[in-house]
Amino acid sequence: VMLVFWSSKDPEAGRLVEMANEWVTKFADRPLVVIGVNHDDRKTLRELEESQVLFRNFSDPGKDLAKEYRVGTWPLVYVLGKDRVIGYSGAPGSFAELSAEAMLAGTQP
């Protein structure tokens, strides 16, 4: 699982959506799912999903899930493997993708 904490209000939201959409496409035939945790209101999130977002999202306007995962900076990506192993926690980008690849290959990043 790639768990992506994000908001459309983030300065780099467009780039993040582009990256996450690329991950959805790249890993489509592999056992990896990209899930967004978004703190926009539901109406805004649904509009984004209808127009440009290919990955599933949870609406977390109160940041409750973000608090559970101790998200301090936005956006943030967790790469979670089987057995609840955290393979990566940090900024979205190539390290998140490489960590996902490594976990799918059965190696630790």
* Domain locations along the chain: 2-105
58-82: pLDDT as tens digits: 889 899 999 998 999 899 999 998 8
pTM over 0.85: yes
79-105: pLDDT as tens digits: 998 888 899 999 999 999 999 999 999
Identify which of 93, 91, 90, 88 has the alpha carbon closest to the alpha carbon of residue 108: 88
pLDDT tier for residue 107 given thresholds of 50, 70 and 90: low
CATH superfamily of 2-105: Glutaredoxin (3.40.30.10)
Q: Which alpha helices (H) appear in the chain, and where do they start and end?
A: 13-26, 42-51, 64-68, 94-105
What is the overall mean pLDDT for the chain? 92
Amino acid code (one letter) for 32: L
Distance CA(75)–CA(51), nearest Å, equals 20
